[in-house]
Amino acid sequence: MNPLERRRRRGAIDAAMVCVILLLVVQMWLLTATLESFLAGHRGVAGAAFAVSLCLFLVCGALYLLVVRLDRSDAPEEPPTSSAGPWRMGEPPSHPGM
């Protein structure tokens, strides 16, 4: 993956995380407002608030899946090697002469 593509992917991940945080702030406000409204005796808004909160959660979930996908594809192509040898993790060591 070229550096430009990698930079774009990282920018997309950062943007998705910022969106999740903003949605979370909105959801927190919604929960507080709904609770205050419920305690004040307005029971009609609770259903609508729950529907909106569920939608916000689904959007957050979709953004999380996007972050996971982009973050995996952003990972280095070479798998990490263990400190015990130069072979790839999970593969048996190959000894020259065997």
Residues lying near other proteins in the complex (CB under 8 A) are found at 13, 16-17, 20-21, 23-24, 27-28, 30-31, 34-36, 38-41, 43, 46-47, 49-50, 53-54, 56-57, 60-61, 63-64, 67-68, 71, 82-84
- Torsion sign, CA atoms 24, 25, 27, 32: positive
Shortest CB 28 distance to other proteins, Å: 6
Q: Cα dist. 39→20, 31, 35, 81, 87 in Å?
A: 28, 12, 6, 58, 63
Nearer to other proteins, 5 or 35 (CB): 35
Nearer to other proteins, 38 or 87 (CB): 38
Q: Locate 32 and state its tokens.
A: 């507080």
Query: What secondary structure letter does DSSP report for 82?
Result: P
Shortest CB 56 distance to other proteins, Å: 7
CA gap 90, 51 in Å, rounded: 46
Shortest CB 53 distance to other proteins, Å: 4
